[in-house]
Structure formats: C-alpha cells, structure tokens
Amino acid sequence: MIRSPLMTVMTDAVMKASRSLKRDFGEVENLQVSRKGPGDFVSAADRKAEKILRESLEKSRPGYGFVMEEEGVIQGTDTSHRWHIDPLDGTTNFLHGLPQFAISVGLERDGQIVAGVIYDPAKDELFIAERGKGAYLNNRRIRVAARSDLADAVVACGLPHIGKGDHGLFLRETAAVMGYVGGMRRWGAAALDLAYVACGRFDAYWERGLNSWDMAAGILMVREAGGFVSDADGGSDPIAKGSIACGNEIMQRELLKLLKKAKG
Ligand code: IPD
Ligand code: CA
Ligand code: CA
Ligand code: CA
C-alpha cells in the first residue's frame, strides 16, 4: 500500500508523539498529573505528545488550524483546514498502567473530515483512513463486521466522567442494550472503540459526551470501512451533537432502536 504525502505527514507526526507516550507509559509513577474535574485527569504525557504533534504538523502543513484537547483551538491562516487532535485518548487507562490508549488525529477540510490516523502504541496498531480510499490497519484493508444478529454482537459503550453527562440515561441505555446483545465492553478509549468497529472487532458502539478530537479520525475510519455512523439519537452530525452510534448498517439501526427505547 502506497501512502499519500498527506498520510505520510500524519503518520510521521503520530509515530514521533507515540515514542514520547511509550517512554512515559514505562514511568507512569513519575508523571506530573492534575485534574480537570473529578475523575478527569491530564498528565505531562498528554501535554508532551500534543506539543510534538502540533510542532510536527505545523512544520509540514503551515497555516492549518488546530482543535486540540489540551491546548484548545488555534486559528490557522488557512481557514479551510484544521487538525482535530487527541494526543492521548484513554488517559485514565494510561495512568493506571492499562495498555488501551491511542493517539488520534483527524484532518478537516472545508467542513469534512478527509483523513484520520489512530495509533495504539502498546499494541503497535496503526489505523489510517482517507476519504474515498478505504481504511487500513497496519497496511491491511479493514471492514466492519458482517454480523447481523444482535445476540452475536459485541457492543462497546462509554460513560461520562463524574458530574458530566447523564448517568441515569447511561444506565437506562446499557440496561436496554444488554438484554439483547452477546456482550458489552467499556474499554475507555473512544478512538480505539471506533477503530475496533472499523476493523470488525466490535459490532457496534455508542457514547455521549464526546468531543471532535475523540471522534474525528474514528468516524472517517468507520465510514471508510463500510460502517454507518450517526449521533446517539440518529442525527447526521455526531461531532456537532457530541455523541455517536455506529456499526454495520443493521447493527447501527438495531442499536439506535434500543437507545430510543431507553430514552422513552
Ligand atoms: C476519554 C476516553 C473515554 C471516553 C471519554 C473521553 P481522554 O478521552 O475516550 O473512553 O469515555 O469520554 O473523554 O480524556 O482519555 O482523551
Ligand atoms: Ca482527557
Ligand atoms: Ca479522548
Ligand atoms: Ca486525551
């Protein structure tokens, strides 16, 4: 598989940042950690990786804007392009020594996500997608799972931090879903949840309370792998709504029906 110049720029930046994350993962006990809110941590590892990503992408594509989890929004001189960056998706896992975390970088061009990279340093898994060119895991084409029966499906979900989002709704939704599916998982890294739907490991996934940096790359990944993506209420713009529901065409439709039932 030949990588486009854009994909080379993105993967080079991500691999560079991943070396910093890997070093810090080996020394988690020495990292400076602070809280954004109850149960919502940020560490020096998040900030270092974000700085590397920003500097590297800025050098290769000067003028593009940024939407970053830690540093926030930086307007670019090129107003048609901006990067959506999550330097460490799954900070809680990372800080607990759980090897389920990733870097996620998506590129928006004129309001559309056109390229995405999600990299899992602990497993050395690189997920990439470009609009119209398919999705790949370590250079092999990936597709969403073909299962059509919820009872065979593994469905992933995510729950909001303490004090954020509606935990009651989360409980009603999980209660509605668990009675019909083969298995449920809550692994704590939204970008990887999406990448796993794209490569068929998870059959479906939903979550509320997400941001553009969590989802931009993953949404493209799922769509380019043949999947269907909406917000958690079935609307067409997950990033605007901050929620997501996805899977193959049947799984996504069935999941949305259960979520609707839970909402009443
Ligand atoms: C979090 C993870 C988690 C999801 C949270 C996100 P972070 O991202 O993706 O799975 O449930 O909503 O905030 O803060 O670790 O980058
Ligand atoms: Ca965070
Ligand atoms: Ca995240
Ligand atoms: Ca993060």
CA distance 190 to 89: 7
Task: Identify the DSSP state of 8.
Answer: H
Provide the pLDDT for residue 148: 96
The answer to whether residue 222 scores a pLDDT higher than 80 is yes
pLDDT in tens, 58-81: 999 999 999 999 999 999 999 999
Q: How far is the CA of 238 from the centre of ligand 3 (A)?
A: 15
Q: What is the pLDDT of residue 229?
A: 98
pLDDT at 163: 80
Compute, in angstroms, the gap from residue 99 CA to the centroid of ligand 3: 15
pLDDT value, residue 264: 82
Proportion of the chain above pLDDT 90, given as a percent? 94
Looking at the chain, the domain(s) classified CATH 3.30.540.10 span: 5-141
Degrees (nearest 5) of the Cα angle 222, 178, 242?
40
Percent over 70 (pLDDT), the chain: 100
Average pLDDT, integer, range 9-24? 98
Binding pocket residue ranges, ligand 1, CB within 6 Å: 69, 86, 88-92, 158, 188-190, 207, 209-210, 214
Sheet holding 243-247, edge to edge: 183-185, 154-158, 204-208, 243-247, 228-230
* E strand or H helix that includes residue 244: strand 243-247
The pLDDT score that the predictor gives to residue 2 is 84
Atom of ligand 1 nearest to the CA of 160: 12
- Identify the pLDDT of residue 165: 84
* Model confidence at 1: pLDDT above 80: no
Compute the average pLDDT of residues 28-49.
Answer: 93
Consecutive H or E run containing 49: helix 44-60
| Interatomic CA distance for residues 238 and 229, integer angstroms | 8
pLDDT tens column, 148-171: 999 999 999 999 888 888 899 999
Which residue intervals of the chain bear CATH 3.40.190.80? 150-263
Above 90 in pLDDT, residue 122? yes
pLDDT at residue 160 in the model:
85
- Expressed in angstroms and rounded, the spacing between residue 70 Cα and the centre of ligand 2 is 8
CATH 3.40.190.80 assigned to 150-263 = yes
The pLDDT value recorded for residue 23 is 97
Rounded Cα distance, 13 and 53, in Å: 5
CA–centroid distance for 118 within its chain:
7
For residue 213, the ligand closest to its alpha carbon is: 3
Decide: residue 18, CB within 10 A, 0-12 exposed, 13-18 middle, 19+ buried: buried
| Cα-Cα-Cα-Cα dihedral sign, residues 108, 189, 209, 181 | positive
Encoding tokens for residue 122?
């602990």
Listed residue (87, 12, 100, 9) closest to 45, CA to CA: 87
Per-residue burial over 220-239, b = 16 or more CB atoms within 10 Å of its CB, e = otherwise: bbbbbbbbbbbbbeeeeebb
Structure token digits, residue 91: 């900070």
Quote the pLDDT of residue 213. Answer: 98
Question: Cα-flanking dihedrals φ and ψ of residue 41, to 5°?
Answer: -95, 150
Q: Is the pLDDT of residue 38 over 90?
A: no
Average pLDDT over residues 111-125: 98
Whose Cα sits closest to atom 13 in ligand 1?
Answer: 210
Q: What is the pLDDT of residue 161?
A: 84
Confidence tier at 180 by pLDDT (50, 70, 90): very high
Q: Which CATH superfamily is domain 5-141 in?
A: Fructose-1,6-Bisphosphatase, subunit A, domain 1 (3.30.540.10)
Contact, 236 vs 228, CB < 8 A?
no
Out of 26-30, 143-147, 220-224, least confident range: 26-30
Mean pLDDT of the chain: 97
Q: Is 80 exceeded by the pLDDT of residue 212?
A: yes
DSSP character string of 189-219: -HHHHHHHHHTTSSSEEEEES--HHHHHHHH
Instruction: Give the position, in ligand 1's atom list, of the atom nearest the Cα of 90.
Output: 15
Predicted pLDDT of residue 6: 98
- Burial (CB count <10 Å: 0-12, 13-18, 19+), residue 32: exposed
Q: What is the mean pLDDT of residues 20-27?
A: 96
- H or E segment and range at residue 114: strand 112-120
Dist. CA 171 → ligand 3 center (Å)? 21
- Residue bearing tokens 């799922």: 222
